[in-house]
Structure formats: C-alpha cells, structure tokens
Structure 1
C-alpha cells in the first residue's frame, strides 16, 4: 500500500429526524480492496452516496478527504471527475442500447463537435478486454447476462479513468461462476493500482477478497478488520455486525416424517414462444406436507420459470403435463387460480415485481387479499390495520409504523413485507424465490426462523436459491436443475456442494 487515498471523517447524515449516519470514520488505503459490511439499514449505502455526491456537500456533516484534498462534491459528476465512480446493485444501463453506447453514455467521444461512434467502438473493445469480456461491443445490453452487464458497468467506470471504484452488492444477482469472475477482476484491477470499496452481504466473498473490512452498525463505525492480521473471519464479522455471536445461521428443525403429497408435477413442460424453446422440460417433482424442498441450479437453469409456470403462468408459457394438488389434477391458468388452490409465490425481485415501494406497509400486505377485508366491495380499514399489525409483529418488521413507505425500509424488512403479503392469503404451499438475496446475515436468520415456524404450522415451502449453503442448511430434499431439466434429487443427508454442482453443470 502507498498511503491513504480516502478518509471520511465524522460523517453524519439525517433523514427527517432519523440519524442514518452518526460520526462515521472510514479510511481506505491506495490500491486495496476494502469491504464495507453491516446489516441492512446500517448506513453502508448512505455513506457511499455521501462519498459519490448523491447527497451533496451541505446535506451532511463531516469531511471527505480524497487524495489529501478536502472535497465538496455538489453532484455526482464532481466525484466522477475526481476519479470516484460508484456502481449500484440496480445497474444503470440502457437495455435497448448497445454495449459501446452504454459505456460512453453521458461521456461521449467527440471530434470537431460530432460524436465519434467509430472511436467509441474501438475504445469499447479495449475496455472490454481489460475486464475480460470478449464480446462484440455492438451487442445490445438486453441480449447479455446480468454477469456480463456487471462487467460492462466496470468497463464504463474504467472509461472515466476511475481511481476509486465503489461496488454496491455487485454479486447479489450473480451465480457462483460469475461472482468469482468478478472478484478475480477486482484483484486484477488492484494490480493496476485501482482501489475498490465493495459492499457485500456474502461473507465468504468478503473473507476471500478483502484487504480490510469496516463494519457499520446503526449508522456508526464499529471496527475495521485487517486481513493481513487474520482478523477477517466469519465469526468476527457477524459478531460486530449484529452485536452478538451467531453460532448457527441455519436454525435447527426436526426433519419431518414423510407426509402426504401436497403438490405433484408429472411430465411438466413450459415452452416460451418468445424465445422459441422450453424453459422447463419434462419436470417430475413432488412436495410433501410440512417440508422445505430446495431447488438449486445455476442462473438460467429454469428455476424461476418453473415456479412461474406453476403459479398461474403469468408469463403465458405453453404448458403440458399434469399438476396435482392434494392428489387431484388442477388447471392453474391465472395467479388467482393458484391462490385459490393454496399456492403463493414470493418473487426474487421484490422491488420490481413484489412490492409497491411508494405505498405503505399496510397497503402492500392487504393488496393480496382485499376480499377478506371487504364488505360489499368496501375495505374495512380498521381490519386492514389489524391485519398489517399482526404481520408486523409476527414477522418482526422493523418500522416505526405500518404507514411507513415500503421503499424506505431496509432490504430485509422489505422481504418480510413481501412474505406478509403472501401469508395473508393463507397458502398451503409457499414458493420462495431467492428469499434472502441482498439481505444481511441477521435478517437471513430471521427469515429462516420464520420459514421453520411456517413448516411447524403445517405449511410446505419450495425454496429456490443460488446460495448452496442456504439450500443445504434449510432443505429437507433438494432438486437440482440445469438447462430446464431436473438432473437429480438429493435427500438432506446425501446432499453436499460437490454433488449439487456436479448435477447443476450437466
């Protein structure tokens, strides 16, 4: 390391009387990979938004010192001009534009006042080579995977001569292979002298890549751990994040006795006419009462598509085969049919598809079952409040009021609202698609505890997850998918990471 590149001193930031940051101190050395960890709502993203000019000078207290100069960023472009570039979890790319147009969007190359797109294509090839993405820069963003889009974002940052690269949950939506590729790229950028700050909830990645890791809790700096001194361990991170040690993140539950079949799929196929191929093919699986069935597989394996084809086929796939619920064949042509049959689905994209972020918690929970709260088409508002309060308490949603806008909640609490929304329809089978994506270890434990309680109450769960530890830690049985097909079924006692990956890569 060759000196301090960034120091944030006594940073405080308030939102309408709520202190999001309280005298935070944060220091990063030049050329290191520094991870920023903490529970949802700890202040990590807020601190980085202060640094990147999203919250301009004057809207926070404290000092930002970058390359020995006190900075007073009034807008994002000020930080970019200084060499500080942030990449958010929700990628800021234009899907209908090409890769090269995205790389130079807002930073176009000009020659005599005219945009030089030929030069943009040439420069884009050079930048893509630097991030190990060997692809035609004239490819549309919508035609490449999320993992490749993440690399395009980094290429875009490199085009701005970045000195300090900030990545907010960069691997949250990536499979294990794409995640490791991204981490390898950060190591390569480190060799080139680029400093990185990475926000992550994936502790194994933090342990793998961080030179140092700073822990925030409740808007305050708790500690900075040094990898060179062996301080960055899972136990140390968790203890400092949540204020206590967590011995086992996957709470124990009795393996259920084999119950009757709740759901059974026989020779089930879903064809997507928009892309001209089957997204799920010849699926045979079943779910018993009172068990958690995990569905593992790499991204693109067809797990979500299978779930959507069961839950009322909202994507209008052409389906074939048989679905039985409680031993009887059913036709689930609409989501309302699935709900009436006792099936609910918690989407992997809670912000895009699962919740109305501009509406309050109460409305988000009640929207799934307004008939239950209505008389002659008029919603009983008192009953709506009682229902929302019931789920706020039972799910441990941390909020001052059920009138709080859902978009203002942390990721973990948003996920609890999404759970409450679907529990309100009183399902027999709950399909959870990536139930802990983008949430911290403390919130994960709370979600797992809720899942166990639901199972103990007699409900069944299908859990789709890209986190193998989660699949192994929570499932009673595991189906592994690859290329739209089920490649194998494993019991909890037989399943391990090696067997799952072997099946997932067939």
Structure 2
C-alpha cells in the first residue's frame, strides 16, 4: 500500500500539534522513509507500530532533531519548523527517550539528568537543587534511587527509569518514547503508564513506540503502522485490537512458532545442582537460592519470572560471569564450575546476554568482526589469523541467521535492533555450542524478528542443541518451549509442559492475573 493511500482521519487544527508531511529520508541508496504523513495529537498518545527497520526510529529522530529529512516538512502548531539539533527541538518543547540508553555510566543519576543543562547559582553548579529535583523525579516514578548513585551500579531497568526521568525533567509538551518499557518490570510499567496518563491530563502529547503490543494497547489513543518506510495503516483506539496490529505489521496467519517435534531428547546436557548466587547489594541474601535443573540435548526450556526473580543472575553464574556461593554446573557430565567464561565457551556453553549493546556487541567493530569474535581461536594459529577462514565463518553466520546487512564490513550500529540481536546469537552459534543460554533474547525487537529468533532456536534444538531462554513475557513461554520453569525469589516456583496456560504461569510467578 502506498504512503498516499493511507491518510490520517480528519481532525481539527487544534487537535494536531505536530505533523510530518510527505517526509522522506535516504541513507545513501537506502530509503528508510518514503513520503510519510504522521500526526501527533494534543494531550493524547499516538502509538507507532512496525517491525525493526520499518522506519519508526528514523521518523522519531527527524521529529526530535537528531537527523534532518531528505525531503518533506515538519509542522509545529501549523507552522513549518526545522530542527538542526536535539537541543533546538527541546527549545520547541520536543524531547525523546531513545531505545538504546544514552546515559554516561561513570556519572551519577543526578549528573545524568542535568547533563548539558546544569543548574547554575552564583557562578557554580547548584548540586543541592539538582539533587532535590532528582529525588522528586525518582519519587514520581516510584523508584527510590539515591541521586548520587553511579549509573553503572544500577540494573538495566533502573537505568531505563533514569532515562525516562531525564526526559520528564525538561517539561516537554511533546514527549517521544522509543521502547521505554523494554527493560522495565511489570510494576515499573504500571508506574510509567500512570505518569503518561498524568502527562496527558496536563496537555502533553506522547508518541509511543513499543514491540510489547498488548501492553501498548492499554494507553493508545491513535495507532499508526509503518512497514518498509511507508505508513500502511491508521486508526483510533476504539477501532483496533491486537489482530489488527499484527495483520498490518506482518500479514495474516502469523505466530511466534511452536515447540519443535520429530526428534527425541538426548542425554542430560546441562545439570545445575543447588546453584546459589549472592545479592551484590546485600551479600547475605541470595538472589538465586539452591536452584537445581537438568536440561537434555535437543530440549528447549523457558525460564519465566518477574523482574528480580533471579533469572539474569542464574544465567550469568552458569556462564561464569558472576561467582556462585554454592552449587555445581555440569556440562555433559563434566564439572565446569571452576572454569573461566572462555573455557566454558570452548567446552560448548555460551550465553547471549540481556544487554546486547553493553555486553553482546563491540560498537566500534563491523558486523563481521562482531560475528567472528567469540570463535576467533578456530582460525588463529601461532598468533596469526586466517582471513579466509574468518570470512567463511562470517558469511555462513550471515546466511544461517538471516542478518539483513549491507555486508560484513558494515558498522554494527547500522543494523536495526532485531538484526543486532541476530548478530549476538550468530556470534555464539558460530562457536558450535552444546548448550546456549539466552537472557531475554527478544528484548527491544519486533514481532517479526522475534519469530526469526525463535525459529533459529527451534532449528538448533532439532539438531540436538540444548536451549534455555528467559523471558518476562508469558506469550513467549507459550511459543517454542518444551518445558516452562517459573522462577520467583531465586527459586523454582513451578514447572509446566508446553500445554500450560497463561493464567497458570502468571499465578505461579506471583503476578496478578487480569481477566
């Protein structure tokens, strides 16, 4: 469907505060946006849906002054505007919360919130006032973080809260939220939605981007779908449901996958015996407490739990990233508890981390260099690397994992979030593992990319790979997993087969079930 074929419903001039008219954006020969029309409604939430690479973030970067359009115009209150920078857009009342965090990890929460717009009093920075305002923002977001805490000491969800607080501190009249809940717990999402409703009541316009479709439906007033740089659908909230969104994003007859069948499970590949991991903040408390679990060759096991259940700590301890205070990790009958991360990878145990930007990718490297990084020993002899063997590994990974890229030499930052995640997975699969652990593998990627990731895992399991993945989305438990383990407070609260229901899983985790 062409961009011109989809026209926003008629609104009064007072209703639309910001508009993009026939906006297009090209990066070299790649057309990221193709004459898109888009309206932001006063005091309402306009949600932008679409797969990774559909052009959502590109459009938002244009509206917030990060980049300029190749053609078309932006109208603010009906008047043409052009933003040369985010600072200029902020002066007009437009702020953006980016999908990938843009915090300075070595600075405090306070310093991150006021970075570049410090409060000055009598020739110096008024740290006391900045700290007071930071505390108020944290209280508003129900997150009692000390303003002086270094950001690098916060968990990912708390860092996301700081990013949101920084945007709220500007008092914008148009606030763009690009995947704001990707690292938040269910309770934190509820708080954010309360804040959004409060902002709406004050006349603030929200542009909301999310791959959590059901979640986004809770606060949407207007829905827009982008596909391949083109606006393919527009509707008001009362006219849409989940099926409408998915159909317009990826077409009919779509699902995330089913547990692979037709192969028998092999012997136990991974055995966890009474694993315990201490809380770094309170060492006497265990975030993983005496947890035992066996996973067989060819089996896909999903670990479900709310934020704080201990899923990430479990995965990182098994992979060797954080120390255990008790227990044993057995890989195909061999104790690997005392081995380093590199040694565990060499034995066939790999981890795809939750934070791909910080822990999974090297941002200064190319797509090919990232893909070959974990398996570099396979084509290095006597300190020399065989570029021919390395290129063969890289090309095979790009094909097998279906990475959409201009080539192995492309910068990793040029890829969409879903393709970056596939690079992390491809990098680990290139080591030919026996067991792969994936911590929230679908965080921040669209429904189509999720399906591709799950298809890769199902194919690996059919060939004998043991797959253990964690998620905080119930729907992902009910896709390809043969077995579902529910964690709560560091322990296994329940275990289900593939025939489990959403209500059973949520109830076992201690989560309130909404009828």
- Regarding TM over 0.5, the answer is yes
Paired with 2:37 and 2:490, the residues of 1 have a C-alpha distance of 48
Helix, strand or coil for the counterpart of 1:41?
A: coil
Is it true that 1:484 corresponds to 2:496 in the alignment? no
Partner of 1:212: 222
- Greater CA deviation, 435-444 or 130-139? 130-139
- Contact 2:309 / 2:489 at 8 angstroms: preserved in 1? yes
Partner of 2:76: 66
Partner of 1:167: 177
Paired with 1:253 and 1:194, the residues of 2 have a C-alpha distance of 47
Paired with 2:453 and 2:249, the residues of 1 have a C-alpha distance of 17
Instruction: List gaps (5 residues or longer) in structure 1.
Output: none
- Contact 2:49 / 2:223 at 8 angstroms: preserved in 1? yes
**Cα distance, 1:190 vs structure 2:** 1.1
Paired with 2:227 and 2:216, the residues of 1 have a C-alpha distance of 17
Alpha-carbon spacing, 1:357–1:120, altered in 2? closer, same or farther (3 Å): closer
Alpha-carbon spacing, 1:265–1:134, altered in 2? closer, same or farther (3 Å): closer
Paired with 2:464 and 2:196, the residues of 1 have a C-alpha distance of 46
TM-score scaled by length of structure 2: 0.89
- Contact 1:175 / 1:299 at 8 angstroms: preserved in 2? yes
Q: What aligned pairs does 1:376-391 form with structure 2 within 5 A after superposition?
A: 376-391=382-397
Partner of 1:264: 271
- Contact 2:310 / 2:487 at 8 angstroms: preserved in 1? yes
Alpha-carbon spacing, 1:74–1:504, altered in 2? closer, same or farther (3 Å): same
Paired with 1:406 and 1:431, the residues of 2 have a C-alpha distance of 22
| 275, 279, 283: which one aligns with 1:276 | 283
Q: What aligned pairs does 1:48-447 form with structure 2 within 5 A after superposition?
A: 48-56=60-68, 60-95=70-105, 97=107, 99-128=109-138, 130-131=140-141, 141=151, 146-228=156-238, 230=239, 232-242=240-250, 244-251=251-258, 253-254=260-261, 257=264, 259-271=266-278, 275-277=282-284, 278-311=286-319, 313-315=320-322, 317-447=323-453
Partner of 2:47: 35
CA-to-aligned-CA distance 1:300-333 (integer Å, 9 cap, x gap):
222122112111x233x14422222333444442
**Cα distance, 1:501 vs structure 2:** 4.2
- Contact 1:20 / 1:218 at 8 angstroms: preserved in 2? yes
- Contact 2:303 / 2:468 at 8 angstroms: preserved in 1? yes
- Contact 2:306 / 2:509 at 8 angstroms: preserved in 1? no
Helix, strand or coil for the counterpart of 1:209?
A: coil
**Cα distance, 1:32 vs structure 2:** 1.0
RMSD: 2.6
Helix, strand or coil for the counterpart of 2:235?
A: strand
TM-score scaled by length of structure 1: 0.90
CA-to-aligned-CA distance 1:31-82 (integer Å, 9 cap, x gap):
11001111111111111111111114xx632111112221121111111111
- Contact 2:151 / 2:159 at 8 angstroms: preserved in 1? yes
Q: State the aligned residue count.
A: 499
**Cα distance, 1:94 vs structure 2:** 4.5
- Contact 1:468 / 1:497 at 8 angstroms: preserved in 2? no
Partner of 2:23: 11
Helix, strand or coil for the counterpart of 2:48?
A: strand
Alpha-carbon spacing, 1:442–1:288, altered in 2? closer, same or farther (3 Å): same
Paired with 2:347 and 2:495, the residues of 1 have a C-alpha distance of 26
- Greater CA deviation, 484-493 or 435-444? 484-493
CA-to-aligned-CA distance 1:248-295 (integer Å, 9 cap, x gap):
222453286454211111122233667524332211111012111111
Alpha-carbon spacing, 1:385–1:29, altered in 2? closer, same or farther (3 Å): same
Partner of 2:7: none
Is it true that 1:457 corresponds to 2:463 in the alignment? yes
Paired with 2:373 and 2:102, the residues of 1 have a C-alpha distance of 30
- Contact 2:271 / 2:293 at 8 angstroms: preserved in 1? yes
- Contact 1:297 / 1:482 at 8 angstroms: preserved in 2? yes
- Greater CA deviation, 324-333 or 479-488? 324-333
Paired with 2:492 and 2:117, the residues of 1 have a C-alpha distance of 46
